Amino acid sequence: MSFLPIETGFEALDWGNLLMLLLAFGFLYLSIAKNLEPYVLLPISIGIILANLPLTGMLAKGEGLLWILEHYGIGAEGGWSIIPPMIFIGLGAMTDFSPILANPKTLLLGFSAQLGIFIAFIGALLLGFGTDASAAIAIIGGADGPTTIYATSKLAADLLPATTVAAYAYMALVPIFQPPVARLLTTQKERKIRMKQLRPVSRTERLLFPLMGLMIVVLLIPESATLIGMLFFGNILRESGVVPRLSETAQRELTNLVTIFLGLVVGSLLSAEAFLKVETLKVFGLGLLAIIACTAAGILLAKLMNLFVKEKVNPLIGAAGVSAVPMAARVAQMIAHQEDPHNYILMHAMGPNIAGVIGSAAVAGVFLGLLG
Amino acid sequence: MLPGLVLSVIKWFDLKVMGYGIFFVLLALSLLAVAVWLMGLYFQHYEKNKGLKVKRKEGLKEEKTDDERLKAAIVAAVATCMAESKPLTRPRAKPLSKTEEASRWETMSRYELMEEP
């Protein structure tokens, strides 16, 4: 098309770009026609399209819009990583910690799910990744997108496209991966266990918890301050009750705004040359191993806990220890509901689920402290 | 030989990183769980007492403890006795046996140890 005054993108399109565009249209279809995770998949698919249309200059270093968003938003190429802490403020403002306060045992179930992270860490080392890269890949097991982005940007920035997409993909696919593992590791009788209703929690307790959590976790693991600090900051906005406008802004406008840019950025990471590598497949495989191991560890610890406690816990709530909030808790409720339509474990499952968020941010902090 | 093998396994799997990771996360969450549990105990106790105080303040009927029931029964009995008794016809009190006296002292001491509402 040399007769045209400008170079068009048609002649620069290669098979890699076409493949990624096909993936983007697939995501668009799933989000619009099937209503599957539209808030995540729709911006991601547009990001993929923009990143894979050639000659746009959107990813040009120092100039392109998507490069700027990647660099300052998620810390690509040694830049800032401002989006993950912003999401944690919104998450904190949306989270009610009452299930943990009413049943502190669930904090330990949140820990068990982090064991999968360490299993994936060994797996990554065996596949030949370095220590830093293995730590970044292992965090996927927490099914916590912002934590994965934050840790990867600090530990192995070149793996950002693969780890970020794997983390978000697995977060969306928790309802598909978790039920078979949960059914395999529990008996029907265990899935039918009904749990006592949680006690009501006073406002003072809800207000003291984020302060206490902030002090304990950050003093112990200072590197976790960026994520844990923002999580509890958001929660203090909510529980203080004196800044309702700030709390509502954090829950809605801030979260929505950051989600828009995060989606675009995640999509923009999926350019053909950055994504279509053998390494990406390895990361996806290890991520899958990590998330299955996290689910299994949570369930097994809940079963172990049942050997020692008077009031039995439904082992399904252990599976909610992966920090996909509130998806993992909903999956636990769904499985319990299928066995017994009058069994409600959602609030109980929210305990390990929130503890999982704290746990994975703490693991990321430990990795950053040791390796960063 | 063996220590060398152990060291090489630790180095190969970066078990130090894993060990520290597990230790710190477990410690952080356990400390948090213990702190939450203690706070829960305190606030449950506090709320229970606060509830009683509010009930008393509002003059509502409240659930009484054994000591309170005993106190109420004694007060009622003494009040009835005082209202109905006539000084001249009041029967003479029988001297108490040792066991009766011990029991009464025990009741009195429990009564004295009770907190003021």
Interval A42-84: pLDDT, tens: 999 999 999 999 988 898 988 899 999 999 998 877 788 899 9
Interchain pair A107, B13: CB under 8 A: no
**A100: chain B residues, CB-CB within 8 Å:** 36
State residue A233 phi and psi, 5-degree precision: -60, -50
3-state secondary structure of A310: coil
Query: Do the beta carbons of residue A341 and residue A357 sit within 8 Å?
Result: no
Residue A261 lies in a domain: no
Selection from B12, B24, B113 nearest residue A369 by Cα: B24
Interval B49-60: pLDDT, tens: 766 666 666 665
Q: Which amino acid would we find at residue B85?
A: S
What phi-psi label fits residue A53: left (phi over 0), alpha (psi between -120 and 50 degrees) or beta?
A: beta
**Per-residue confidence (pLDDT) for residue A161, from 0 to 100:** 86
Residue A80 lies in a domain: no
Better-predicted residue by pLDDT, A307 or A116: A307
Better-predicted residue by pLDDT, A264 or B8: A264
Of the listed ranges A182-196, A253-267, B62-76, B77-91, the one predicted with least confidence:
B77-91
Which of the 8 DSSP states describes residue A6?
A: S
Residue A218 lies in a domain: yes
Interchain pair B28, A135: CB under 8 A: no
* Confidence band for A208, pLDDT divided at 50, 70 and 90: very high
Could you give the count of Cα atoms lying within 13 Å of B83 in the half-sphere of its Cβ?
Answer: 6
Of the listed ranges A25-29, A225-229, A357-361, A368-372, the one predicted with least confidence:
A368-372
Task: Find the closest chain A residue to B27 by CA distance.
Answer: A220
ipTM given for this complex? 0.84
Selection from A335, A343, A338, A337 nearest residue A319 by Cα: A335
* Confidence band for B117, pLDDT divided at 50, 70 and 90: very low
Interval B75-85: pLDDT, tens: 888 888 777 76
Q: What domain range includes position A351?
A: 91-254+275-371
Average pLDDT, chain B: 73
For range B87-100, the mean pLDDT: 66
Question: Distance of CA A45 to CAs A49, A156, A269, B38, Å?
Answer: 6, 24, 11, 48
Q: Is B7 on the interface with A (CB under 8 A)?
A: no
Residue A247 lies in a domain: yes
**B40: chain A residues, CB-CB within 8 Å:** 101-102, 104, 205
Cα of A118 to nearest chain B Cα, Å: 6
**A205: chain B residues, CB-CB within 8 Å:** 39-40, 43
Residue A15 lies in a domain: no
Interface test with A, best of B20, B25, B41, B44 (most A CBs within 10 A): B25
Interchain pair B40, A205: CB under 8 A: yes
Q: Which amino acid would we find at residue B22?
A: I
Of the listed ranges A40-54, A351-365, B6-20, B37-51, the one predicted with least confidence:
B6-20
Residue A346 lies in a domain: yes
Of the listed ranges A36-40, A99-103, A336-340, the one predicted with least confidence:
A36-40
Interchain pair B25, A122: CB under 8 A: no
Residue A189 lies in a domain: yes
The answer, as to whether pTM is greater than 0.90, is no
Interchain pair A367, B21: CB under 8 A: yes
**Per-residue confidence (pLDDT) for residue A366, from 0 to 100:** 92
Instruction: Please give the Cα distance from A137 to A144 (Å, whole number).
Output: 12
* Confidence band for A24, pLDDT divided at 50, 70 and 90: very high
Q: Return the number of CB contacts < 8 Å for A and B.
A: 95
Structural domain count of chain A: 1
Cα of B64 to nearest chain A Cα, Å: 23
**Per-residue confidence (pLDDT) for residue A248, from 0 to 100:** 94
**Per-residue confidence (pLDDT) for residue B64, from 0 to 100:** 64
Among B12, B30, B32, whose Cβ lies nearest the Cβ of A213? B32
Cα of A86 to nearest chain B Cα, Å: 23
Q: Is B41 on the interface with A (CB under 8 A)?
A: no
**Per-residue confidence (pLDDT) for residue A186, from 0 to 100:** 93
For range B94-117, the mean pLDDT: 66
Report the run of H or E that residue A259 belongs to, with start and end. helix A255-268
Residue A263 lies in a domain: no
Among A111, A117, A371, whose Cβ lies nearest the Cβ of B26? A111
Interchain pair A208, B44: CB under 8 A: no
Interchain pair B17, A121: CB under 8 A: yes
Q: What sign does the dihedral A128-A132-A133-A137 (CA atoms) show?
A: positive
**Per-residue confidence (pLDDT) for residue B111, from 0 to 100:** 58
